Chain A
Amino acid sequence: SQTIHQWPATLVQPVGSPLSLECTVEGTSNPNLYWYRQAAGRGLQLLFYSVGIGQISSEVPQNLSASRPQDRQFILSSKKLLLSDSGFYLCAWSVVKAPVGETQYFGPGTRLLVL
């Protein structure tokens, strides 16, 4: 069965510091991968998605970037964090399930607090 891991689980960082969040998927190959952010009491905002190694699409302009160095590894980074980067960061992978189509499953998430 497929599992998705994220770390760290929680992170407190000062404004202006760098960021690296990691997501890995097990039990599948060439998955579509996604990074979402969920601000407190808000919906999910898609940040990046990737359909393969080195292929990254950005949904919103921001000071974040993403990379996919390996098939089942997805990394979210920032060179300088802003207060507004605080939130719950979720990695997701998707699988095509007939007949409903592409279905997304979420990792456990990383809670980031920027002070």
Chain B
Amino acid sequence: QKEVEQNSGPLSVPEGAIASLNCTYSDRVSQSFFWYRQYSGKSPELIMSIYSNGDKEDGRFTAQLNKASQYVSLLIRDSQPSDSATYLCAARAWNNDMRFGAGTRLTVKP
């Protein structure tokens, strides 16, 4: 079983819609979670981090964490074509071991 799983997509949403990206993890000792955005041909860029249950909002981005269900998600409100990228989910355990999902490709259509 993969440690961090994401739907590979592609996920396609119209401009202005809410994009919902999901991630599940299998390691119950994971403590913090991260979302990275990776444009084609570029390196991953950190956009959100979350460590406690609930929602964390930053501009148009909201990260949601449910440790009981081992589930973390990223919502992008008012999606723009510039949000089209691959989004990587990562989980960090207590020993700083970081595991990445394979990413979900998001396409925002004008």
Residues of A within 8 A of B (CB): 32, 41-44, 46, 88, 90, 94, 97, 99-109, 111
Q: A106-B44, A108-B43 are in contact. Are A100 and B49 (CB under 8 A)?
A: yes
| B102 with A42: CB separation less than 8 A | yes
The DSSP consensus for interface residues of chain A is: strand
Chain A residues near B92: list those with CB within 8 A: 101-102
| A100 with B51: CB separation less than 8 A | yes
Chain B residues near A94: list those with CB within 8 A: 96
A44 to B38, CA, bound (A): 12
- Which residue on chain B has the smallest CB distance to residue A98? B51
The DSSP consensus for interface residues of chain B is: strand
| A43 with B43: CB separation less than 8 A | no
| B101 with A43: CB separation less than 8 A | yes
**Category for how many chain B residues contact A:** 20 to 34
Q: A43-B88, A108-B42 are in contact. Are A101 and B32 (CB under 8 A)?
A: yes
Residues of B within 8 A of A (CB): 31-32, 34, 36, 41-46, 49-51, 88, 90, 92, 96, 98, 100-103
| Cross-chain pairs A/B with CB under 8 angstroms, 8 sampled | A44-B100, A94-B96, A102-B96, A102-B98, A104-B34, A104-B98, A107-B43, A108-B42
Chain B residues near A103: list those with CB within 8 A: 32, 34, 46, 49
A103 to B92, CA, bound (A): 9
Chain B residues near A32: list those with CB within 8 A: 96
Distance (Å) between the CB of A38 and the closest chain B CB? 9
| B50 with A109: CB separation less than 8 A | no
Inter-chain pairs besides A44-B100, A100-B32, 12 sampled, C-beta below 8 Å? A42-B102, A43-B88, A43-B103, A46-B98, A97-B49, A100-B51, A101-B31, A101-B96, A105-B46, A106-B45, A109-B43, A111-B41
A102 to B34, CA, bound (A): 11
